[in-house]
Structure 1
Amino acid sequence: MSQTSETVLEINLSALEHNYKYLRSQIAPTTKMLGVVKAFAYGSDAVAIAKRLEKLGINYFAVAYTQEGVSLRKGGIEKPILVLHPQSTNFEEVIEHNLFPNIYSKYTLGAFIKTAEKLQLKKYPIHLKINTGLNRLGFDPEEANWITDRIAQTESVKIEGIFSHLAASEDKAERDFTKYQIENYKSALDQILPKLDYKPIRHLCNTSGILNYPEAHYDMVRTGIGLYGFGNSAEEDQKLQPVATLKTIISQIHHIKKGESVGYNRGFKAEKDTKTATLPLGHADGINRIYGKQKTKVLINGQLASIIGNVCMDMLMIDISEIDCEEGDEVILFGKEKSAEEFAHNAGTISYELITSISQRVKRKIIN
């Protein structure tokens, strides 16, 4: 990758391809794969990511909200797109752009059927979400008979898929709970499937489910964080490649005397003569205040430098006292050379939060 001259998020599509192929190798050839590209493809570039995945042969996509699916369609994406958390006010837009809604409650099922019947649709594809223990969205398994009875009353929709979401599939200490969720999901399937004269797509596993619960792969698996280079364990992280690298440069170097302070509210006070560098990105770019006050480090010329004081909206400062560097030199916050998981963990958060927080004002650079 080339040296940067500005703040940029590099999106490495070769790394994406590597991760896709690795995850494919963990499932049966007949099992479908769904790529989760919500939140700008985990903070990167949803259209660029989806286009490469389409070329690689992915079967399905998922987004959180309707507008994310619309953006993919406008970007030329043709594969099926599941909207995981649609709002009833957007159902006509869902249909207009041939998106598949996740139907997760009696209210959403009734509202979507009403919309579909108004538009005189026949067998429009929907996915049903079963709540197996995450307690976020989904029908309770006990509502299975109500679901099939309601759908039998209309010709406007067809169950394209039935799914649930594992709460702790990466956590070995929660294996019993995950198995409990799998059994709950089976129970719902056992009630719904015999009443249908067709076979919906069954999908349950997320990235950690793919890796840890092969018995629960069913017809399709869903992968989000794995595509972007994180396997929810140090062992799996070694088999994956980070897709995104956040880079910036040194704007200015300061020589701080003992007793002087740096930044808002004097967040850093020099206990000795200190050399600092100011970088052109801050909490408006997604590097939040939690990363300041020496909790995290960045990489300059192969050496680590602590973020000091309070992170500002558009700038942050680092301690470069022991580093040979100049204004204009490149700084890496996270990427292949420096893990986003480590950067996030040191501040008490997770890689998901860090990478999805990178602001859209940060320039994206696609690398093939």
Structure 2
Amino acid sequence: MPKARETVLEINLDALAHNYNYIRSKLDEDVKFMAVVKAFGYGSDVAGIAHKLVELGADYFAVAYTSEGIALREAGIEAPILVLHPQSFNFEAIIENCLEPSLYSKFVLEEFVKTAEEKNQKEYPVHIKFNTGLNRLGFSEKETDVVKDLLTATTAVKAKSFFSHLAASEDWKEREFTLMQIHTFRKIAVKLYDDLGYSPMLHICNTSGIINYPKAHFDMVRSGIGLYGFGNDEPNDEKLRPIGTLKTIVSQIHVLEKGQSLGYNRAFIAEKRTKTATLPIGHADGINRQYGNGRAGVTINGSYAPILGNVCMDMVMVDITGIDCKEGDEVIVFGETQHATAFAEKGNTISYELITGISQRVKRVLITD
């Protein structure tokens, strides 16, 4: 693998294939696979990721916002795309781009039906979301008659699926709550099947749900974070491969004498002679200030180098005392030598926030093993 010569996020498509195949192996053959690629493919490269997932056999894609779905269409993705959090302002664009909206309240369902009728649509596919305990988006169990009445009063739309979202599927201490969510969802679906006279697909499992609740796979599952190499617990993390490695280089080396300071607000004062390296990456790139002042570090030529002082917008400084390195050498922030979960924990956060926060100004490079 060529050494980095600038700040880059390497995205390993073979690791993505490994993760997809591992998660797919947990499913029965007839269960569909929805790949969640919102937030630029969890901070990676959404077009490259999506094309690889099509090649691997993904049945569906999911994004958060309409603009993300349009970007996939413009990248040549023809598979069905669910928009998880559409806004009524975007409903015409959804139809124009053959996207499929999640409709989660009386207001958005009525508004989409109105738009679909104005556009002379016939059985346009929509996905009805139910709130079974996450209390974020979704119709309540008490609103099933609202859903039935609105769907049966028009031919412009037709429910393609009913779905819900598990709140704590990775936490065995919350198993009773998760089983309650699954039971409630099943009850809602059975009632609506009878009322509507047809059976939309059902899906409730996220990555942790796929692994921990196989009886709740229903017709389709949704996997996001697992595809990118994170299983939400140590045993499954070991079976997955993080697809992203964030790399940068050593820009300049300095030597601080005892008593000299470094960086903004003189946050680091050398207690002894200290050798430092300045790296071209900072909080504008997604390595936020919470990682500074020794809380996190990077790897240079196999050795750990803690961050010194405050993280700057475009730079961080690290302690390379005792490390054999020179200007231009490659630096690994997370990936090959330091798991992103471990790096994130040092900043008191989670891998989701770290990887999705890598700025779009960081160059993405698709690689294979």
TM-score by length of 1: 0.99
2:173 is matched with 173
1:346 is matched with 346
Q: CA deviation at 1:271?
A: 1.3
Q: Is 1:316 matched up with 2:334?
A: no
Contact 2:152-2:196 within 8 A present in 1 as well:
no
Q: Is 1:47 matched up with 2:51?
A: no
1:220 is matched with 220
Q: Which moved more, 1:82-91 or 1:197-206?
A: 197-206
Distance 1:187 1:293 in 2: 52
Distance 2:213 2:268 in 1: 47
1:327 is matched with 327
The amino acid of 1:167's aligned partner reads A
Distance 1:253 1:330 in 2: 13
The amino acid of 1:68's aligned partner reads E
Q: Which moved more, 1:261-270 or 1:80-89?
A: 261-270
Encode CA deviations 1:95-120: one digit per residue, 9 max, x unaligned. 00000000000000000001001111
Encode CA deviations 1:51-102: one digit per residue, 9 max, x unaligned. 0000111000000000000000000001100000000000000000000000
Distance 1:233 1:308 in 2: 30
1:2 is matched with 2
Distance 1:242 1:2 in 2: 19
Distance 2:156 2:267 in 1: 60
Q: CA deviation at 1:187?
A: 1.9
The amino acid of 2:125's aligned partner reads P
Q: CA deviation at 1:268?
A: 1.1
Superposition RMSD on alpha carbons, in Å?
A: 0.8
1:128 is matched with 128
Q: Secondary structure at the match of 2:28?
A: coil
Q: CA deviation at 1:217?
A: 0.5
Distance 1:267 1:199 in 2: 62
Encode CA deviations 1:229-288: one digit per residue, 9 max, x unaligned. 000011101111111110000000110111111111111111111111000010000111
Q: Secondary structure at the match of 1:281?
A: coil
1:105 is matched with 105
Map of 1:158-307 to 2, 5 A cutoff? 158-307=158-307
The amino acid of 2:289's aligned partner reads R
- Structure 1 gaps, min length 5: none
Distance 1:123 1:254 in 2: 66
The amino acid of 2:31's aligned partner reads T
Encode CA deviations 1:309-353: one digit per residue, 9 max, x unaligned. 110000001011121111111000111321000000111000000
Q: Is 1:119 matched up with 2:149?
A: no
Q: Secondary structure at the match of 2:281?
A: coil
Map of 1:64-103 to 2, 5 A cutoff? 64-103=64-103
Q: Secondary structure at the match of 2:16?
A: helix
- Structure 2 gaps, min length 5: none
TM-score by length of 2: 0.99
Distance 1:310 1:272 in 2: 19
Contact 1:241-1:336 within 8 A present in 2 as well:
no
The amino acid of 2:176's aligned partner reads D
Contact 1:145-1:191 within 8 A present in 2 as well:
no
Distance 2:317 2:188 in 1: 54
